């Protein structure tokens, strides 16, 4: 009987380990037999530059084309738990097949992961995974350049298996930060694996869907995290918003519940955005539109508050806003007891007072790097309320759910050029064309009127509205960011008074 119990226990343990062990979908080698301490098992910090050639992700089958990497794996030779300071993973692709001894790769990298403090558990002979901050589109016809570095490690374990390749496949730092390449290099290639998903560029975005009219029990609850407070009085809060109507307030984000450490909301009936810190309230000089997606941002530096709608600033409001420091929770889509309504997406909190150009530069960019200066939190709301920057992770309450959304492109700027009144209507060819990701569209109207410029794909499906407002007679330039569009041919069409014109543009990525 004891033997039977022992057998069942071993079977249960084996099943548990099998269920929870991590193996990459694709990997290059699992043949390394000797561990190397670079870069994970060096207490003082270390960086390694590794070159993985085309076709080397061949196990258990070749990695197909049209994929993007979401998770990376390292096969470890020792067991232990390590806490890393400033752990970063960078990726690049190139046609090179060898490094130069004593030199890091000098091309353009994408920082796919960064953590100020990261804990990894290593098990001898097994894979340790790291989920990337954003996916990396992988081309199997090119070499993958991998740069992994950390500035300090405590704990035990971390050595990784390497196999031997050809040419110079690895260059490492002398130790410590900043990283300086050691005068050497060898043919070692780390046993490295990846998980991937299809790299479809027109995947439908999703957003947080709240009740309309708003219900105070429907929101995202974010438990208190120490980093939510203590970053001075400079703050920027921005989000894509679609207020559900004028019958209820539409809170975007509130930290502190009844203490209102900092809050961005939209007032009932007036649709005027407001920023609140404690008892001090600054009201936006312009209203937002119900049931329409728009980008709303507020910037407070402790003495003035500036609101931005679709990247356009309103007049600064004088308000001495002192951010609170309570240990109360954060709420997305709810203030203290007042509700939010409609839709919210791409919510970001910054510990700096951002400028207008900074807001414009990435309000249409979904995967901004976690290392962007001052970025404290970002929620993509793609079926999860996880914050990938500081761990301000939320839980849906009430009937909060997710829905599909195709947001951006929108104009990143609209400016009038010159003072002369044009003699005729015209819509000019966008410049540059082809483009990636920004271009400019120039139009002229000889008399005032309501101007609409809409964007259509090759099948005639509307994919965005660039202009939808009344304008005085004049010549205007629309700056436009197409970072959310797939490569291909698109058409833009102007309608103003009795004038219509359609032009063709090409996004080339």
**pLDDT of 94-152, one tens digit each?**
999 999 999 999 887 888 888 889 999 999 999 999 988 778 889 999 999 999 999 99
Which residues have a Cβ under 8 Å from the Cβ of 147 and sit 6 or more positions away? 47, 48, 49, 50, 88, 89, 90, 91, 92, 104, 105, 109
- Do 357 and 483 lie in one domain? The reply is no
pLDDT of residue 294: 83
Question: Residue 5's pLDDT band (boundaries 50, 70, 90)?
Answer: very low
CA distance 391 to 119: 13
Residue 2: pLDDT over 60: no
Give φ, ψ of 31 to 5 degrees: -110, -5
Q: Do residues 342 and 379 share a domain? A: yes
* 351, 378, 405 - which closes a domain: 405
Residue 294's CATH number: 2.60.120.200
For 411-445, how does the pLDDT look when each residue is reduced to its tens digit (9 = 90+)? 555 667 767 889 999 999 998 888 887 788 999 99
Does one domain contain both 334 and 185? no
Place of tokens 């060096």: 42
Residue 303 predicted with pLDDT over 50: yes
What's 292's DSSP letter? S
Q: From 361, 387, 405, give the residue that closes a domain.
A: 405
Residue 114 within any structural domain of the chain: yes
Residue 406: band (very low, low, confident or very high) from pLDDT cuts 50, 70, 90: low
In the prediction, which pLDDT does 282 show? 97
Contact of 184 with 58, CB cutoff 8 Å: no
Residue 266 pLDDT: 93
* pLDDT for residue 22: 67
Which pLDDT score, from 0 to 100, does residue 408 have? 59
**pLDDT, position 10:** 35
Residue with the bigger pLDDT between 182 and 432: it is: 182
Residues 172-190 have a mean pLDDT of 94
128 shares a domain with 175? yes
What pLDDT score does 204 carry? 57
Confidence of residue 457 (pLDDT cuts 50, 70, 90): confident
Residue ending a domain, choose from 342, 377, 405? 405
**Is 17 in a helix, a strand, or coil?**
helix
Cβ neighbours of residue 17 closer than 8 Å, sequence gap 6 or more: none
Q: What proportion of the chain, given as a percentage, has pLDDT over 90? A: 58
pLDDT digits 0-9 by tens, 209-260: 999 888 899 999 999 999 999 999 999 999 999 898 766 668 999 999 999 9
Report the relative pairing of strands 235-242 and 294-300 from DSSP bridges. antiparallel
* Entry pTM: 0.52
Q: Are 334 and 304 found together in one domain?
A: yes
What are the pLDDT digits (tens) for 459-509? 787 777 788 767 778 888 888 878 767 788 899 999 998 899 999 999 887
Would you state the structure tokens that stand for residue 258, as one six-digit string?
A: 């009844």
Residues 306, 313 contacting (CB under 8 angstroms) = yes
Q: Assess if residue 6 is contained within a domain.
A: no
- The verdict on residue 8 lying in a domain is no
Rounded Cα–Cα distance for residues 370 and 381 (Å): 16
Q: Is the pLDDT of residue 7 over 50?
A: no
In a domain, 4, yes or no: no
Counted domains in the chain:
3
State the residue range of the domain holding 436.
Answer: 411-507
Residue 284's pLDDT band (cuts 50, 70, 90): very high
Q: Which helix (H) or strand (E) holds 199?
A: none
**185 and 224 part of one domain:** no
| DSSP letter assigned to residue 360 | H
What would the pLDDT profile of 351-389 be if each residue is shown by its tens digit? 999 998 788 767 767 777 777 889 999 999 988 899 988
- For residues 236 and 303, state if they share a domain: yes
pLDDT for 186 beyond 60: yes
Q: Give SS3 for 15.
A: helix
Stated as kind and residue range, the H or E segment containing 7 is: helix 2-20
* Same domain as 210, residue 109: no
Q: Residue 115's domain is classified under what CATH number?
A: 2.60.120
pLDDT of the residue at 467? 80
d(CA 495, CA 502) in angstroms, rounded, equals: 9
Q: At 19, is the secondary structure helix, strand, or coil?
A: helix
C-alpha dihedral sign at 51, 178, 351, 376: positive
| CB 409 within 8 Å of CB 480 | yes
Q: Strands, DSSP E only, in 278-328?
A: 280-283, 294-300, 304-309, 312-313, 317-318
Label residues 242-261 b or e (16+ Cβ within 10 Å = b): bbbbbebbbbbbbbbbebbb
20 pLDDT above the threshold of 60: no
Band of pLDDT at residue 410, cut at 50, 70 and 90: low
Split at pLDDT 50, 70, 90, the class of 199 is low
Mean pLDDT value across residues 162-169: 95
Q: Both 193 and 232 in a single domain?
A: no
Residue 10 CB burial class (10 angstroms; 0-12, 13-18, ≥19): exposed
């Amino acid at each position: 009987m004891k033997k039977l119990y022992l057998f069942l226990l071993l079977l249960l343990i084996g099943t548990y380990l099998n269920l929870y062990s991590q193996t990459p979908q694709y990997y290059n080698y699992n043949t390394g037999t000797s561990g190397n301490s670079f870069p994970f098992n060096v207490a003082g910090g270390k960086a390694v530059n590794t070159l993985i050639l085309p076709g080397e992700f061949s196990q258990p089958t070749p990695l197909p084309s049209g994929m993007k990497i979401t998770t990376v794996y390292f096969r470890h030779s020792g067991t232990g738990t390590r806490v890393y300071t400033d752990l970063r993973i960078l990726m690049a692709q190139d046609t090179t097949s060898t490094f130069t001894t004593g030199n890091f790769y000098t091309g353009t990298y994408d920082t796919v992961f960064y953590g100020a403090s990261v804990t990894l558990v290593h098990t001898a002979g097994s894979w340790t995974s790291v989920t990337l901050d954003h996916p990396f589109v992988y081309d199997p016809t090119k070499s993958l350049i991998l740069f992994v570095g950390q500035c300090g490690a405590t704990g035990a374990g971390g050595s990784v298996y390497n196999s031997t390749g050809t040419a110079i496949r690895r260059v490492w730092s002398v130790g410590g930060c900043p990283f300086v390449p050691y005068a050497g290099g060898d043919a070692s290639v780390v046993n490295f694996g990846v998980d991937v998903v299809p790299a479809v560029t027109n995947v439908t975005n999703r957003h947080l869907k709240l009740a309309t009219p708003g219900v105070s029990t429907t929101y995202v609850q974010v438990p208190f995290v120490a980093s939510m407070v203590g970053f001075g009085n400079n703050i920027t809060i921005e989000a894509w918003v679609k207020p559900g109507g004028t019958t209820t307030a539409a809170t975007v984000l509130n930290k502190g519940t009844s203490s209102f450490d900092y809050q961005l909301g939209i007032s009932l009936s007036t649709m005027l955005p407001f920023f609140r810190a404690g008892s001090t309230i600054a009201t936006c000089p312009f209203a937002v539109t119900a049931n329409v997606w728009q980008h709303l941002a507020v910037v407070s530096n402790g003495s003035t508050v500036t609101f931005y709608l679709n990247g356009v600033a309103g007049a600064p409001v004088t308000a001495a806003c002192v951010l609170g420091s309570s240990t109360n929770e954060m709420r997305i889509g709810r203030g203290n007891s007042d509700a939010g309504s409609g839709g919210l997406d791409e919510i970001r909190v910054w510990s700096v007072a951002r400028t207008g150009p900074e807001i414009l530069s990435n309000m249409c960019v979904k995967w901004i790097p976690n290392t962007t200066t001052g970025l404290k939190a970002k929620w993509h709301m793609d079926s999860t309320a996880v914050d990938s920057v500081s761990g301000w992770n939320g839980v849906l309450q009430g009937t909060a759910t997710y829905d599909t959304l195709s947001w951006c492109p929108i104009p990143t700027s609209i400016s009038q050029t010159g003072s002369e009144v044009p003699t005729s209507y015209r819509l000019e060819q966008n410049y540059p064309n082809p483009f990636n990701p920004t271009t400019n569209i120039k139009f002229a109207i000889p008399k005032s009127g309501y101007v609409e410029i809409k964007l259509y794909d090759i099948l005639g499906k509307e994919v965005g509205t660039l202009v939808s407002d009344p304008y005085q007679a004049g010549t205007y330039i629309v700056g436009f960011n197409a970072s959310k569009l797939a490569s291909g041919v698109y058409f833009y069409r102007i309608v103003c008074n009795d004038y219509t014109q359609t032009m063709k543009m090409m996004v080339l990525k």
